[in-house]
Amino acid sequence: MLGCLVGSLSAATAPEPYGPLPTKQQVNWLRMEWYAFVHFGLNTYTDREWGYGDESPSLFKPANFNAEAIVKTFKSAGMNGMIYTAKHHDGFCTWPTKSTGHNITKSPWKKGKGDVVKEFARACKKHDFAFGTYLSPWDRNCAEYGREGYLKVYYKQIKELLTKYGPIFEIWFDGAMGGDGYYGGARQHRNIGTADTYYNYEKVVKNIRKLQPDCIIWGAAGRGDVTWGGSEKGFVKYPLWNAQGNKWLSLEGDTPINHRGWFWHPGQGGHVKSPEHLMDVYLASVGRGANLILNLAPNRNGRLDAADVASLEAFGKMRTRLLAKDYALKAKVKASQVRGNDDRFGGNMLTDGDIESYWCPENGNTTPSAEIVLPEPATFDVIRLREQIRLGQRVEAFKVEAKVDGQWQTIVEPGNPGEEETQFNLRGGKGHTIGNQVLRWLNEPVTTDRLRLTITRAKACPCISEFSLLRMPSVEEAQAVEEDDSADKALSSKDWTYGGIDAEKVHLAFDGKADTLWKSDRTPSHFVVNMKAENIVSGFSYLPRQDGKTVGMTSRYSVQVSMDGKRWKNVAEGEFGNLRANPVEQFVSFPPQKARYFRFSSTAALDGQGSSVAEMKIYGRPAAD
Ligand code: FUL
């Protein structure tokens, strides 16, 4: 007991960060994992992938375009956002820009009053879905392209997109520039020299940071936050280092769901990629430490083709099923070394389901190992590891062994320097880099309750935040599961106690009765829930008052969690929009966090000074016992 006390009291210091570090925006972005690409414009009507620039805007007439239906399809597949080609290389602007006449006001759709960007941005906002945009630097329509004059046009377009449509989570600056084009009738080959110099990406990036500091910039000649994964098939090379010189640069794998291309083409129905192939794409992008952008192209009616949607949905279910159950959760871990013998850096951090906590040995130890004992024997065939990338990317190679019939067997071989995975050679892959996450698909399922993780090479003492064991479902198994049985549940409030403003009324927000309220007479206002036990919390719900009054309904909130009720960590903040018109229960999720205390702050409320909560639920599960 004494040893244990001494162990947990000697607070070791966290390791110094190593190498290039991601910005907080890059970390948040990597946690999005995957999102949709939407190529939709004049090429949709011309059966082309690259318009020449002389296409008539009159071609654009998507009779049944429905941005919301498209966004809902993406969201229900488990995607976290979408990026729309506001302008492709043909120069046609799908919003009413003031920068060029070659735009949607010249199209018959909605009698020239349409705005595709706006419709997508609105639908995304409504469904709490991230919205981003692609604005091709190459413009085959503009007469001034290749000269000074084009830059004014282009900068104006960037400004419009970043100031008129709400938050943009990512903007793409494509590198393609083929030279030939219409260029206002000149029909010439235009050479721009170096893209970085011509577009002045240094200035562009600076400007975007001012307009939208949270926007992730793709490309821009390596001056942005993210770069191309290297193939339009969706895979990225492994090992993967998020670095270019001394700067953190992440990768994005990109590919269309349909073999025919990025835009919609007649007869593409028979060419959709299978759900199994999409899983390969996922494993070769997200599973190697990158993000995935998967394109679905609306057809000439402005709708997604049923065949594309069917494959997306089937893959979405496979992915949800794959990630639904982690057989290593709550496993007991004995590490070869723990930094300062401090539990905060102990082996159990690998299996606590908290993406922020991590296991770390002493400085200089680059080859630690950890023995993992599962709560019960399990059968799995995918291993997931994550590094705490806020401290930099460190691991170069790792090995995983499993004890089967009393014998240790290597199930993930450690990678050797110089080896590389390309394409989709996925099963039985070796353990090289980890970064944000790595998924290794074993040659065959393994059944055991005992594993050993060994870091075999690292640039500095490794900080590993998660070790998970997953099971790859077949398409059929994934279809059969209607509900995610391991999803977090509302935690029981039976033993909870409360603090904060008007503390004696807080229990009324957790009593299961919609007609009793926690009320405070001021805003901002907050309360604290002591859950009396360690939980992994991952979200909460808020039911606004149901008595027909709007006074005190929270319109802006923030949530913090804490282990000791003293040091707090922000986990969520945002807006509850539209409560006046539609006061229904609101759900908010955040990355799982270990917490004993939960603090809800109402930072803005409707009509008057006070704040109120009819009911609140905290979602999660008990932490490892
Ligand atoms: C490329 C473009 O040339 C393609 O048309 C497509 O937009 C793809 C995503 O990027 O560079």
From the list 75, 124, 110, 33, the residue with the least C-alpha distance to 435 is 33
What six digits make up the tokens of 236?
């990225």
Q: What is the pLDDT of residues 210-268, one digit of tens each?
A: 999 999 999 999 999 999 999 999 999 999 999 999 999 999 999 999 999 999 999 99
Q: How far is the CA of 174 from the centre of ligand 1 (A)?
A: 7
Q: Is the model's pLDDT at 2 over the cut of 70?
A: no
485 with 324: CB under 8 angstroms?
Answer: yes
Give φ, ψ of 302 to 5 degrees. 90, 20
Task: Ligand 1 pocket test: pick from 173, 218, 231, 262 the residue with the most ligand atoms within 8 Å of its Cβ.
Answer: 262
In the chain, the domains with their CATH numbers are: 2-13+326-473 (2.60.120.260), 24-323 (3.20.20.80), 489-622 (2.60.120.260)
Q: Is the model's pLDDT at 407 over the cut of 70?
A: yes
Distance CA 109, CA 258 (A): 26
Q: In 472-578, which ranges are E strands?
A: 489-490, 497-500, 518-520, 525-543, 554-562, 568-575
Q: What is the pLDDT of residues 585-594, one digit of tens each?
A: 787 888 889 9
pLDDT at 176 (0 to 100):
84
Distance CA 625, CA 612 (A): 35
Query: What average pLDDT does the structure give for the chain?
Result: 94
The mean per-residue pLDDT over the stretch 276-285 comes to 97
Distance CA 258, CA 265 (A): 9
280 with 231: CB under 8 angstroms?
Answer: no
pLDDT at 7 (0 to 100):
44
Phi-psi region of 251 (alpha: psi -120 to 50; beta: other; left: phi over 0): beta
**Tokens 């970043």 appear where?**
162
Give the H/E segment covering residue 188.
Answer: strand 188-189
**Tokens 């280092």 appear where?**
241
Q: What is the pLDDT of residues 465-476, one digit of tens each?
A: 999 999 999 998
Q: How far is CA 394 from the centre of its chain?
A: 22
Contacts of 492 (CB under 8 A, 6+ apart): none
DSSP 201-255: HHHHHHHHHHH-TT-EEEETTTTSSEEE-S-TTS---BS---EETTEE-EEEEEE
pLDDT at 183 (0 to 100):
98
Q: Is the model's pLDDT at 3 over the cut of 70?
A: no
Choose the weakest-confidence range: 357-371, 381-395, 567-581. 567-581
Distance CA 249, CA 227 (A): 7
The mean per-residue pLDDT over the stretch 272-283 comes to 97
pLDDT at 487 (0 to 100):
62
The mean per-residue pLDDT over the stretch 396-420 comes to 97
The mean per-residue pLDDT over the stretch 46-51 comes to 96
Q: Is the model's pLDDT at 5 over the cut of 60?
A: no
Give φ, ψ of 296 to 5 degrees. -125, 125
Q: What is the dihedral of CA 155, 161, 167, 168, to 10 degrees?
A: -80
Distance CA 272, CA 258 (A): 4
Which is the closest atom of ligand 1 to the Cα of 39?
A: 7
Q: What is the pLDDT of residues 110-131, one digit of tens each?
A: 999 999 999 999 999 999 999 9
Q: Is the model's pLDDT at 100 over the cut of 60?
A: yes
Q: Is the model's pLDDT at 201 over the cut of 90?
A: yes
Q: What is the pLDDT of residues 488-520, one digit of tens each?
A: 789 999 999 999 988 999 999 999 999 999 999
The mean per-residue pLDDT over the stretch 382-392 comes to 98
Buried b / exposed e over 125-163, threshold 16 CB at 10 Å, is beeebbbbbbbbbbbbbbbbbbeeebbebbbebbebbbe
Q: How far is the CA of 612 from the centre of ligand 1 (A)?
A: 49
33 with 436: CB under 8 angstroms?
Answer: no
Q: Report the first-to-last Cα separation within the chain, whole angstroms.
A: 17
The mean per-residue pLDDT over the stretch 575-591 comes to 81
Regarding the beta carbon of 252 and ligand 1, being less than 6 Å apart is answered no
Nearest CA owner, ligand 1 atom 6: 262
Q: How many residues does the chain have?
A: 625
What six digits make up the tokens of 201?
């990406």
Contacts of 251 (CB under 8 A, 6+ apart): 226, 227, 228, 229, 230, 236, 240, 242, 285, 289, 290, 291
pLDDT at 59 (0 to 100):
98
377 with 449: CB under 8 angstroms?
Answer: yes
Task: Ligand 1 pocket test: pick from 174, 218, 257, 263 the residue with the most ligand atoms within 8 Å of its Cβ.
Answer: 174
Q: What is the pTM of this model?
A: 0.78
Identity (one letter) of the amino acid at 360? C
What is the pLDDT confidence band of residue 535, given thresholds at 50, 70 and 90? very high
Q: How far is the CA of 151 from the centre of ligand 1 (A)?
A: 21
Nearest CA owner, ligand 1 atom 2: 176
pLDDT at 427 (0 to 100):
93
